Amino acid sequence: MKARPLKNYLLAPGPTAVPAEVLLQIASPTIHHRTPEFEKIVSGVREQLKEVFATTQDVIVLAASGTGGMEAAVTNTLSPGEVVLCVNAGKFGERWLNICRTFGLEVEELRVEWGRPVEAGAVESALRRRPEIRAVLVQASETSTAVLHPIEAISRLTRAHDTLLLVDGITAVGVTEMPMDRWGIDVLVSGSQKAFMLPPGLAFIALSERAWRASESAKLPRFYFDLRRERDNLHKNTTAYTPAINLMYGLSCALGMMLEEGLPAIFARCDRLMRATRAGAQAIGLELVAKESPSPAVTGVFTPPGLDGGAIQKYLRYALGVEVAGGQDQFKGKILRLAHLGFTGDFDVITVLAALELALSRFGAEIAFGRGVGQAQTILAEALPPAAPQG
């Protein structure tokens, strides 16, 4: 395989492409973090993050990947031996389980077939069967299967019980509506390399009043991820430990871009790109992974029978410069995941579909060039403004 083309497209569900404006901010000289200049950045970011999380609570920024945020969610709200309900519908659901077991929690596992959303009714049954369940842990968007779980419906159940709702919103916050306060989510986690249009390295986490109260009695050990210490520092516009200073420049810039576009416009964009990607993939003849409740962050498609998904993924990368994600575990070699969150637009969908058509035809599939692209255009056209009147 020859070297990559000159121009490359990062269309995986994280890391995602970073706008040049943000990269340039990150390239600004590193300043010291115990200065009024840096405190001003923290103070600005603090207010902007509340808007994105739709909460009046503090949103803590951690120098960590999203998994660090997930661990912080667990260790700051729970105590050894407590019972938790983990929704396991994919690779990231499994991660909740692994974290909880590592810290000595008793895990009630709610297994869901990969590619399907959890049913709120199943959560309800589990809560009724074991009222001692202290927390429900679930992904908002399960990135490994490209499925959206029904967080609003689940939150109605957890609010009715004395049960915390810990949500991995890593590919959901800034992608689709996830109003923390209104829905009563107790812990909401996200990460920089998704909707936030940044390189990896930052995790975001917000706790409800109820979760902050739980943190007072939570006995699981945490030091670096002690959120009470971070909150106390945040109130002084600083951080407990050395922050990822240059990423914070980028965060400030990217949050400005997000709020300028507006959250409703972002949600509409991700939804439109999802619908266009799905329509295009189906027109190419590909089977969708998520038959219902698809994630507006990423679309999963099964590769045609007899073709190795991993080989197609590599071909897209090296021959066409298009980086998409493959499948994990039971989906390894069987699916491709095409992202449409963060810094993506209409022509990323066009690019990824045209690239798929080209690659699949090279792998011997019967492909009518332009058919998938054309179907996607039909969806994208719906959102276009009318032409100016002709003079």
> 299 or 377, CB closer to its own copies?
377
Separation of alpha carbons 389 and 391, rounded Å: 6
347 binds its own copies (CB under 8 A): yes
Of 68, 175, 179, 184, which Cα lies nearest the Cα of 136? 184
Measured from the CB of residue 156, what is the shortest distance to its own copies in angstroms?
34
Residue type, 30: T
Choose between 134 and 269: whose C-beta lies nearer to its own copies: 269
**Near its own copies by CB under 8 A: residue from 109, 246, 319, 328:** 319
| Residue 153 near its own copies by CB under 8 A | no
Least distance from its own copies to the Cβ atom of residue 308, Å: 6
The Cα–Cα gap between 234 and 147 comes to 34
Give the interface segment with its own copies, choosing from 111-119, 138-146, 198-206, 371-379 (CB under 8 A).
371-379
Q: Considering beta carbons, is residue 107 or 358 the nearer one to its own copies?
A: 358
Candidates 174, 239, 181; CA nearest to 211 is: 181
Closest separation in Å from C-beta 374 to its own copies:
2
Residues paired with residue 141 on neighbouring β-strands, in sequence order: 148
Does 241 engage in binding with its own copies (CB under 8 A)?
no
Report the Cα 41 to chain-centroid distance in Å. 24
Closest CB to its own copies among residues 185, 279: 279
CB atoms within 10 A of CB 130: 13
Judged by CB, which is closer to its own copies: 110, or 359?
A: 359
Look at the chain and count its residues. 391
Question: What angle is formed at CA 58 by the lines to CA 132 and CA 193, rounded to 5 degrees?
Answer: 90
Q: Which of 269, 272, 275, 317 forms a contact with its own copies (CB under 8 A)? A: 269
Which CB sits closer to its own copies, 37 or 260? 260
How far, in Å, CA of 332 to CA of 300, rounded? 12
Q: C-beta of 11: minimal distance to its own copies in Å?
A: 11
Site membership for its own copies, residue 285 (CB under 8 A) = no
Q: Which CB, 107 or 257, lies closer to its own copies?
A: 257
Applying CB under 8 A, the span of 77-85, 128-136, 210-218, 305-313 interacting with its own copies comes to 305-313
**Residue 304 contacts its own copies per CB under 8 A:** no
172 makes contact with its own copies (CB under 8 A) = no
| Smallest distance from its own copies to CB 368, Å | 7
Which contacts of 127-131 are long-range, i.e. CB under 8 A and separated by 24 or more positions?
A: 127/85, 127/157, 127/158, 127/161, 127/163, 130/83, 130/85, 131/161
Q: How many CB atoms lie within 10 A of CB 39?
A: 15
Residue 9 interacts with its own copies (CB under 8 A): yes or no: yes
247 binds its own copies (CB under 8 A): no
Q: Does 370 bind its own copies (CB under 8 A)?
A: yes
Residues in CB range of 332: below 8 A, 6 or more apart: 309, 310, 326
Under rule CB under 8 A, how many of the chain's residues touch its own copies? Answer: 59
What 3 state SS string does 170-202 have? CCCCCCCCCCHHHHCCCEEEEECCCCCCCCCCE
Site residues (CB under 8 A) for its own copies, limited to 11-70: 20, 23-24, 27
CA separation for the pair 120, 141 (Å, rounded) = 15
Q: What is the side-by-side order of every strand in the sheet holding 325-326?
A: 287-288, 298-302, 335-339, 325-326
Of 116 and 194, which CB lies nearer to its own copies in the complex structure? 194
The stretch among 137-145, 175-183, 185-193, 363-371 that binds its own copies (CB under 8 A) is 363-371
10 Å Cβ neighbour count for 154? 27
Q: Which residues bind its own copies (CB under 8 A)?
A: 1-2, 5-7, 9, 20, 23-24, 27, 257, 261, 269, 306-308, 311, 314-315, 319-322, 343-348, 350-351, 354-355, 357-359, 361-364, 368-375, 377-378, 380-381, 384-388, 390-391
